[in-house]
């Protein structure tokens, strides 16, 4: 198998009739699917792990918190890795790391070893997303990227959607170790398939590595994710010294990291990507959508299992149609983006999103389950019409040499925004609940407790509504980004 950097006749491999693009896509998609699936596959097994290893909830939560923390640390250096290693070597190396981590988890005799395996998995998962985005940007010309990025959206959304359902069945009938054992054959198949079909599509330039920048990004992004993720571990919340001091250290480190990047000839993460207006626009839209999703994916199950007294399985099934539709519609939305551009999709979708957030803010203990099902479907459909089109449009405006940095910035924001979104929204809900109960005549009465939760959920969705309105305004300023000259930056 050739693995070199010979000049290609065609600027994009998809235009070269001699290149088999489909096997390259399948190599990346198969590996990414099971890596992303692994993110949510373990959620339902946390109770089983607590019993198996005799550990507490805050301890077992590190299976999820630690995963996000490691991803936030490794993703920022993906841009430099994409310039140091060929596509094929980097993908194979990443999948091997993920497979080793999965095997360690499957065989773990105790919780510390299991945690080591989980963190090793996170290294592989964190690097896979920048790789797949960067490769597809290099393979396909801008006018074909919408549909392809839609397929990536299908993988990203469908895998986490079926994760909890699949996990419940596996844990109940086979045991938690099979959550990892079942993934191993597919990961090995992805490695073999990629070894045979994946070719290099990027240019290896081997820029100078700035160790201080890597250290600052590691401390900065790691501290922010850790700080926000730790906010719920004590009654003090964000007022706990461990939380606010860690977040302050993280913010200072990221500020220093950002300043340094503009001074370096070969930055670890080139923040000049923000000089491109549609890329910056895409980042703001991405953050708003991530926050809106977390308002539902985290708060809504708590509301259904609390005020509505539904089981965890029922709550999961209620959210499943929306998640599946989101994945199924992503390629279609990508096709519409290629044909009509971003405005036709994003303006109506953001209006639907804002309307849905307002509708969800009106939920009560007497609300029909169908309102929640329909509301969540509308939310996820609007997300499918906003997120991938916005990302694709933003990345389309970047010059070729900034592709690794553009994908690194966006994928870094996902775990960071996730950690911030979860902790902030839960803190807002809890604060509103406590305030409601403190002013109630019968704070211990079950009806009062339910009403307090309703008040908390309503406030979260009202904030999400305000964010969605901002997205509506931003949608009116979007335009189809024209590819910038591949050699020059502004």
- For domain 1-203, give the CATH superfamily: MFS general substrate transporter like domains (1.20.1250.20)
- Residue 348 confidence (pLDDT): 94
In tens, the pLDDT along 392-431 reads 888 888 887 787 788 888 878 877 777 777 777 877 787 7
Would 1-203 and 273-485 be classified into the same CATH topology? yes
Q: Which of 161, 85, 99 is nearest to 130 (CA)?
A: 85
| 87 within 8 A of 124, measured Cβ to Cβ | no
Q: 446 burial class (0-12, 13-18, 19+ CB within 10 angstroms)?
A: exposed
- Residue 6 confidence (pLDDT): 45
The rounded distance, in Å, linking the Cα atoms of 171 and 351 is 40
Compute CA distances 254 → 216, 245, 248, 271, 273, whole Å: 7, 14, 10, 12, 16
Q: Which of 168, 163, 165, 130 is nearest to 38 (CA)?
A: 163
DSSP-derived secondary structure letter, 274: G
Torsional class of 237: left (φ above 0), alpha (ψ -120 to 50), beta (otherwise): left
| 71 within 8 A of 125, measured Cβ to Cβ | yes
- Residue 349 confidence (pLDDT): 93
- Residue 312 confidence (pLDDT): 64
Query: Measured in whole angstroms, how far is the alpha carbon of residue 362 from the centre of its chain?
Result: 28
Tokens standing for residue 233: 């571990």
Tokens standing for residue 227: 């700080």
| 35 within 8 A of 126, measured Cβ to Cβ | no
- Residue 4 confidence (pLDDT): 45
- Residue 15 confidence (pLDDT): 58
How confident is the prediction along the chain (490 residues), in pLDDT tens digits per residue? 444 444 445 566 655 566 677 777 777 788 778 877 777 677 667 667 777 888 776 677 777 777 877 887 888 777 778 778 887 888 888 889 999 999 999 998 888 899 999 999 988 888 887 888 777 777 777 767 777 777 777 777 677 667 666 776 777 778 888 888 988 998 898 888 888 877 777 677 777 877 888 888 888 888 887 887 776 666 666 777 878 888 899 899 989 988 888 888 878 788 888 889 999 999 888 888 887 776 676 777 778 877 787 776 677 778 778 878 877 787 888 888 888 888 888 999 999 999 999 998 888 888 888 998 998 899 888 988 888 888 888 888 888 778 778 888 887 887 777 777 777 787 778 778 888 888 877 777 777 887 888 888 888 889 889 989 999 999 999 888 776 654 444 4
Q: Which of 255, 166, 187 is nearest to 30 (CA)?
A: 187
- Residue 57 confidence (pLDDT): 64
Compute CA distances 95 → 35, 76, 124, 183, whole Å: 9, 18, 6, 12
The rounded distance, in Å, linking the Cα atoms of 296 and 452 is 18
End-to-end CA distance of the chain: 38
- Residue 487 confidence (pLDDT): 41
| 380 within 8 A of 326, measured Cβ to Cβ | yes
The rounded distance, in Å, linking the Cα atoms of 130 and 152 is 12
Q: Which of 369, 450, 408, 387 is nearest to 80 (CA)?
A: 408
**CA angle 21–23–28, rounded 5-degree value:** 100
Tokens standing for residue 289: 């959508």
- Residue 5 confidence (pLDDT): 45
- Residue 471 confidence (pLDDT): 92
The rounded distance, in Å, linking the Cα atoms of 351 and 472 is 6
The rounded distance, in Å, linking the Cα atoms of 247 and 409 is 19
* Domain spans in the chain, listed from the N-terminal domain onward: 1-203, 208-265, 273-485
The rounded distance, in Å, linking the Cα atoms of 267 and 284 is 23
Torsional class of 341: left (φ above 0), alpha (ψ -120 to 50), beta (otherwise): left
The CATH T-level fold of domain 273-485 is Growth Hormone; Chain: A; (1.20.1250)
Residues 6+ apart with CB under 8 A from 269: 76, 79, 213, 217, 257, 261, 405, 408, 409, 412
The rounded distance, in Å, linking the Cα atoms of 199 and 195 is 9
Tokens standing for residue 114: 């299991």
- Residue 97 confidence (pLDDT): 92
DSSP letters spanning 304-315: HHHTT---HHHH
- Residue 301 confidence (pLDDT): 75
């Amino acid at each position: 198998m050739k693995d070199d950097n010979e000049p290609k006749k065609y600027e994009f491999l998809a235009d070269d009739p001699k290149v088999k693009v489909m096997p390259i896509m399948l190599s990346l998609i198969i590996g990414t699917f099971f890596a992303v699936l692994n993110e949510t596959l373990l959620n339902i097994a946390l109770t089983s792990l607590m019993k198996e290893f005799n550990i507490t909830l805050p301890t077992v939560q590190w299976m999820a918190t630690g995963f996000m923390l490691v991803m936030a640390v490794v993703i920022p250096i993906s841009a430099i890795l994409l310039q140091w290693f060929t596509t094929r070597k980097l993908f194979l190396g990443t999948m091997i790391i993920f497979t080793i981590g999965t095997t360690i988890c499957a065989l773990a005799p105790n919780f510390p070893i299991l945690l080591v395996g989980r963190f090793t998995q996170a290294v592989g998962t964190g690097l896979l997303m920048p790789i797949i985005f960067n490769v597809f940007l290099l393979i396909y010309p801008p006018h074909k990227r919408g549909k392809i990025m839609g397929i990536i959206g299908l993988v990203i959304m469908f895998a986490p959607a079926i994760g909890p359902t699949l996990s419940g069945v596996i844990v109940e009938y086979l045991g938690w170790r099979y959550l990892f054992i079942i993934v191993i054959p597919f990961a090995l198949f992805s490695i073999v398939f990629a070894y045979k079909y994946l070719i290099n599509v990027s240019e290896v330039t081997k820029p100078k590595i700035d160790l201080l920048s890597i250290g600052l990004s590691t401390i900065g992004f790691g501290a922010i994710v850790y700080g926000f993720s730790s906010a719920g571990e004590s009654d003090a919340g964000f007022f706990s010294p461990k939380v606010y001091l860690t977040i302050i250290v993280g913010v200072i480190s990221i500020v220093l990291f950002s300043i340094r990047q503009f001074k370096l000839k070969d930055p670890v993460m080139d923040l000049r990507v923000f000089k491109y207006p549609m890329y910056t626009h895409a980042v703001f839209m991405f953050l708003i959508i991530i926050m809106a999703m977390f308002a539902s994916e985290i708060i809504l199950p708590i509301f259904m299992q609390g005020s509505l007294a539904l089981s965890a399985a029922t709550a999961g099934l209620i959210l499943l149609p929306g998640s599946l539709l989101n994945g199924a519609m992503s390629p279609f939305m990508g096709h519409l983006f290629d044909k009509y551009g971003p405005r036709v999709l994003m303006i109506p979708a953001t209006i639907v999103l804002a309307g849905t957030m307002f509708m969800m803010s009106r939920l009560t203990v007497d609300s029909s389950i169908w309102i929640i099902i329909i509301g969540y479907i509308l939310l996820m459909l609007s997300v499918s019409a906003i997120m991938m089109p916005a990302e694709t449009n933003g990345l389309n405006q970047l010059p070729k040499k900034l592709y690794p940095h553009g994908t690194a910035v966006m994928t870094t924001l996902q775990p960071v925004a996730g950690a911030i979104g979860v902790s902030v929204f839960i803190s807002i809900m809890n604060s509103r609940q406590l305030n409601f109960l403190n002013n109630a005549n019968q704070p211990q009465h079950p009806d009062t407790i339910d009403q307090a939760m309703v008040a908390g959920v309503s406030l979260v969705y009202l904030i999400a509504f305000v964010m969605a309105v901002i997205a509506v305004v931003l949608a009116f300023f979007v335009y189809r980004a024209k590819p910038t000259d591949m050699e020059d930056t502004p």
